Amino acid sequence: MKRILFLVPLALFVVLGIYFAVGLTRDPSHMPSALIDKPLPEFDLAAIEGETRGFATSDLDGEVALINFFGSWCISCIIEHPVLMDIAAREGVVIAGIDWKDKPGAGKSWLDQRGNPYVFIGDDPSGRTAIDFGITGAPETFIIDHKGRVRYRYAGPITPQIWQRDLKPLVEKLRKEGDDAP
Amino acid sequence: MAAEIGQLALILAFLTALFQGAAPLLGGQFSTSPLQASIRVATLVQGGLILIAFLCLTYVHAISDFSVVNVVENSHSAKPFAYKLSGVWGNHEGSMLLWALILALYGAALAVSDRASTLKTLTLSVQGMIASAFIAFILFTSNPFARSFPAPADGMDLNPLLQDPGLAIHPPFLYLGYVGFSLTFAYAVAGLITGKVDAAWARAVRPWALAAWVFLTIGIALGSWWAYYELGWGGFWAWDPVENASFMPWLAGTALIHSLRVVEKREALKVWTVLLAILAFSLSLVGTFLVRSGVLTSVHAFAVDPTRGVFILAILAAVTGGSLLLFALRAPLLQSHATFQPVSREGAILLNNVFLVTACATVFIGTFYPLFIDVLTGTRISVGAPYFNASFLPFMALMLVFLAPGAALAWKKGRLKATIGRLWPALAAAGAIGVIAAWLSWPGPIAAALGAGLAIWAGGGAIVDLLIRIKAFSSPPGAAFIRAANLPRAYLGMTIAHLGLAVVIIGVMGAGVWRTEIVRFMAEGDVISIGGFDARLERVIVEAGPNYTAERAVFSVEREGAALRDLTTERRFYPVRGMQTTEAGIWTMARGDLYLTLGEKSEAAGWAVRAFFNPFAVWMWIGAGLMALGGGVAATDAPRRLMRRAPTIDPGAAIAAPQGAST
């Protein structure tokens, strides 16, 4: 009986090892989303404190856009932020931001401090819209096509490499689709 | 040429490590001197070869040899020379080579220290097995010496966040900590094989465990300090997976250095201590797996490659799985005859271990919960700081409640009421400070005031116990001082480290809970007021650094109209990587840090400036330094006092001995 007790650490480790092994087969940043190819969830978010303009589903009228969930409390967002600034300035991509579960005023001061890459910013203090999007953490970014459908989802900070490799080609393709459409 | 020499040295080191690990299996007789000598020599040769490989990599980085892929990807001709050197380990391949180098250096240090014994030979051999696994990992998945054809004209530069003195020296300390636990692990495995885990075993292991713990403490503190001043958000700890990866071995290691003391003094808790030694190193490996495999997203993530993840998982399975199998087979044979009462130093250390290991488990679960859920359901969730604060901090609070009396209890059988009674000045001070803190910070969270009170109780208790021990209240200062100098190093070290922990906690409460923050736009000449100070934005100038351009804001800080000093803060832009970094302007004072960062400029409103006042922030680093110092002092404890003590003691004598006669 006592000997079985000594097997417990090994047994626990084996279970853990299986989890690690399966976990290796999952890419934590590329996630399928139930929303892919579906229309954007309906929302009409108020402006964050200190701004006047909010963000609603209807704002993205026929334009290819990025919707980026961020928060002033989110450290990875600090890493991602200069990349978004760059994309907005250099590539002219419309980026909309949703300030997720932030304290009043915190999002505004964060953007004042670092610069604002967003054309629209919606405030989602309760996380209600985040649930509609099914997001799991910040930052998380969705690519919307000209018909207002969700086409791609990326979890985690966008780095220059990821932008160049995955996101930018898709944005260009979607823009072309939009131009070709009657 | 240097790259080829390094490559060759690495291959030879691999073969040597294989021999070092396999020799006892071939020879069978651990006690024969030819085998002992050959393993000892192999350890030293392996260390020398890895050192050559490491120096070769350093050389190609130093001269910016862009025909080596590793240099191209992580360096730039304009990068300052110091960061060309730190760039050697500022990337995956180089950092793994540093890992292997430190592993080899620990092995070499053990090989030249102490006299030869079966235990030491076995331990070196286990080190050799670990080394061969890691060198193979470098050779097959992460070769730092790969050439690039054709050689580009210039490199891609090092991530600017890593171009910083704090982060340049952070990884070596962290690895000295992580890898140091490989030695205690090797000792645990050797102890299981020989079946002898006794006071002599604990005496051999303890200095290494303490050394690893000291380095890990410094490494974590440096990382936290770096995050504090470089990331520009005023925080110091974010419960990020990679931070947790260094914190979990630290918690297990902390439990280990305590329980080792019980084995050394009383030959009790043997099985538990061996398990902790396995756990501490396994958690170091899990940390490596976490960072290099990309199973979890983190701001720290290195270049991620699934092959590497599989390889490290295989190493983890072999090291941890193998040692736990050995544990299951051999640990039941470790007999412990020593008995102790629940209320005793041993009991207190066991309680401390329970708190530490439980706290470690909560951090582990929080870190890996997203992975578990992903594997089970395919959905992903994230666990944030609120979980960690809510689950981890209560255990730490409970630990602090028991820390001072626990450390002051006698071995074998103590008296709790009498011990607490002796420490009454600390208890009174803790109560008073807790109440004052609650009153001053009201309506702030009462938990922070409680934390401050507990810190005073723990730290004050350590001081009061020391003063009682040296009879500071009843004898002339000279005599008390001599007594203090003659105290066992282990006791002195413990007292310093416990005091350091209390100081850290006050810093954490101050900078974590009581901090204030203001953000506003400022034109030149505007004043921002925080923490009783007025900071006037004097001017913003644009400067060119070696591989960046910077906007530098100069503030003059005043208090009640009196000019005190200037404070500068920078925002740097690194064109090669297209990244920005903030260099916060920090004025460190004992009562708190005045912390200013510069943000974007708005044409209409001026510069966005973020100002913090972080009470007691510097106490965190001072406290961490004290903890490391305490560990270092304890590591030098001479075993002579213990030699005299037989493993079995007459129970009557122990009870009759005055409290504080031993540590």
Q: What is the ipTM of this complex?
A: 0.78
Q: Residue length, chain A? A: 182
Instruction: Tell whether B655 is covered by a domain.
Output: no
**pLDDT tens per residue, range B127-178:** 999 999 999 999 998 899 988 877 787 877 777 777 778 778 888 899 999 9
For residue B157, the distance in angstroms to the closest alpha carbon of chain A comes to 14
Instruction: Tell whether B281 is covered by a domain.
Output: yes
Question: Does the beta-carbon distance from A21 to B313 stay under 8 Å?
Answer: yes
Q: Are B202 and B263 in contact (CB under 8 A)?
A: yes
Contacts of A155-159 spanning 24+ positions with Cβ under 8 A: A155/A28, A155/A29, A155/A30, A155/A31, A155/B297, A155/B380, A156/A28, A156/A29, A156/A76, A156/B297, A157/A76, A157/A77, A157/A79, A157/A80, A157/A83, A157/B299, A158/A80, A158/A83, A158/A84, A158/A87, A159/A79, A159/A80, A159/A83
Q: Which amino acid is at B643?
A: M
All residues of chain B having their beta carbon less than 8 Å from the beta carbon of residue A79 are: 299
Predicted confidence band of residue B661 (pLDDT cuts 50, 70, 90): very low
- Euclidean distance between CA atoms B294 and B310, whole angstroms: 11
Predicted confidence band of residue B216 (pLDDT cuts 50, 70, 90): very high
Same domain, B333 and B383: yes
Mutate to test the interface with B, among A112, A133, A140, A164 (most CBs of B within 10 A): A112
**pLDDT tens per residue, range A71-86:** 887 767 877 888 899 8
All residues of chain B having their beta carbon less than 8 Å from the beta carbon of residue A75 are: 231, 233, 235, 238, 240, 299
Q: Does B656 have pLDDT greater than 70? A: no
All residues of chain B having their beta carbon less than 8 Å from the beta carbon of residue A127 are: none
Between residues B475 and B108, the one the model is more confident about: B108
Grouping H, G, I as helix, E, B as strand and the rest as coil, residue B308 is helix
Mutate to test the interface with A, among B162, B299, B329 (most CBs of A within 10 A): B299
Residue entry with tokens 């060759």: B8
Instruction: Tell whether B651 is covered by a domain.
Output: no
Q: What is the pLDDT of residue B242?
A: 81
Domain membership of residue B578 as a residue range: 517-615
Between residues B229 and A122, the one the model is more confident about: A122
Give Dmax over CA atoms of chain B in angstroms: 83
Instruction: Tell whether B157 is covered by a domain.
Output: yes
Instruction: Tell whether B658 is covered by a domain.
Output: no
Same domain, B222 and B340: yes
Give every CB contact of residue B300 below 8 A, 6+ residues apart in sequence.
B240, B241, B242, B243, B291
Residue entry with tokens 């005043």: B558
Predicted confidence band of residue B345 (pLDDT cuts 50, 70, 90): very high
Total number of domains in chain B:
4
Between residues B305 and B633, the one the model is more confident about: B633
Question: Does the beta-carbon distance from A160 to B577 stay under 8 Å?
Answer: yes
Q: What is the pLDDT of residue A154?
A: 84
- Percent with pLDDT over 90 in chain B: 48
From B213-222, B252-261, B303-312, the region with the lowest mean pLDDT: B303-312
Same domain, B96 and B195: no
Domain boundary (B163, B188, B203) is at: B163
Same domain, B206 and B76: no
Q: What is the pLDDT of residue B586?
A: 92
**pLDDT tens per residue, range B428-478:** 999 999 999 999 888 777 888 999 999 999 999 999 999 998 888 788 888
Question: Does the beta-carbon distance from B608 to A114 stay under 8 Å?
Answer: yes
Q: Are B237 and B386 in contact (CB under 8 A)?
A: no
Q: Residue length, chain B? A: 663
* Interface check B315 vs A, CB under 8 A: no
All residues of chain A having their beta carbon less than 8 Å from the beta carbon of residue B231 are: 75, 78
- Provide mean pLDDT across the span B422-431: 93
Instruction: Tell whether B482 is covered by a domain.
Output: yes
- Euclidean distance between CA atoms B251 and B269, whole angstroms: 18
Q: Does B338 have pLDDT greater than 70? A: yes
Same domain, B557 and B541: yes
* Interface check A90 vs B, CB under 8 A: no
Give every CB contact of residue A180 below 8 A, 6+ residues apart in sequence.
none
User: How many other C-beta atoms lie within 10 A of the C-beta of residue B634?
Assistant: 26
User: How many other C-beta atoms lie within 10 A of the C-beta of residue B394?
Assistant: 15
Between residues A3 and B351, the one the model is more confident about: B351
Instruction: Tell whether B571 is covered by a domain.
Output: yes
From A134-138, A139-143, B146-150, B593-597, the region with the lowest mean pLDDT: A134-138
Q: Which amino acid is at B14?
A: F
Candidates B238, B332, B577; nearest CB to A2:
B332
Same domain, B638 and B608: no
- Euclidean distance between CA atoms A130 and A142, whole angstroms: 12
- Provide mean pLDDT across the span B291-309: 60
Q: What is the pLDDT of residue B61?
A: 93
Candidates A19, A115, A157; nearest CB to B600:
A115
Q: What is the pLDDT of residue B307?
A: 75
Helix (H) or strand (E) holding B395: helix B385-408
From A79-83, B256-260, B609-613, the region with the lowest mean pLDDT: A79-83
**pLDDT tens per residue, range B548-581:** 888 899 999 999 888 899 999 988 887 776 677 7
Work out the mean pLDDT of chain B and round it to a whole number: 86
Predicted confidence band of residue B372 (pLDDT cuts 50, 70, 90): confident
Assigned CATH for A30-180: 3.40.30.10
Q: What is the pLDDT of residue B659?
A: 39
For residue B365, the distance in angstroms to the closest alpha carbon of chain A comes to 11
Q: What is the pLDDT of residue B32?
A: 66
* Interface check A6 vs B, CB under 8 A: yes
Pairing verdict, β B606-615 and B592-602 = antiparallel
Same domain, B452 and B379: no
Domain boundary (B163, B179, B209) is at: B163
Q: What is the pLDDT of residue A102?
A: 82
For residue A179, the distance in angstroms to the closest alpha carbon of chain B comes to 31
Question: Does the beta-carbon distance from A115 to B599 stay under 8 Å?
Answer: yes
* Interface check A155 vs B, CB under 8 A: yes
Most confident of A8-17, B125-134, B302-311, B643-652: B125-134
Write down the pTM of the prediction: 0.81
Same domain, B190 and B282: yes
All residues of chain A having their beta carbon less than 8 Å from the beta carbon of residue B374 are: 23, 26, 28
- Provide mean pLDDT across the span B404-418: 89
Q: Does B520 have pLDDT greater than 90? A: no
Same domain, B127 and B178: no
Same domain, B371 and B272: yes
Predicted confidence band of residue B299 (pLDDT cuts 50, 70, 90): very low
**Residues B101, B105, B107, B111, Cα dihedral to 10°:** 150
Q: Does B508 have pLDDT greater than 50? A: yes
Q: What is the pLDDT of residue B301?
A: 46
Gyration radius of chain A's alpha carbons: 20
Same domain, B299 and B224: yes
Of the candidates A99, A87, A155, A86, the one whose C-alpha atom is nearest the C-alpha of residue A125 is A99
Predicted confidence band of residue B655 (pLDDT cuts 50, 70, 90): very low
Question: Does the beta-carbon distance from B578 to A160 stay under 8 Å?
Answer: yes
* Interface check A10 vs B, CB under 8 A: yes
Residue entry with tokens 């609070």: B397
A-B interface: how many C-beta pairs under 8 angstroms? 118
* Interface check A4 vs B, CB under 8 A: no
Instruction: Tell whether B295 is covered by a domain.
Output: yes
Please give the full DSSP string across B520-544, using - where no structure is assigned.
Answer: EEE-TT-EEEETTEEEEEEEEEEEE
Same domain, B385 and B430: no
Domain boundary (B367, B398, B417) is at: B417
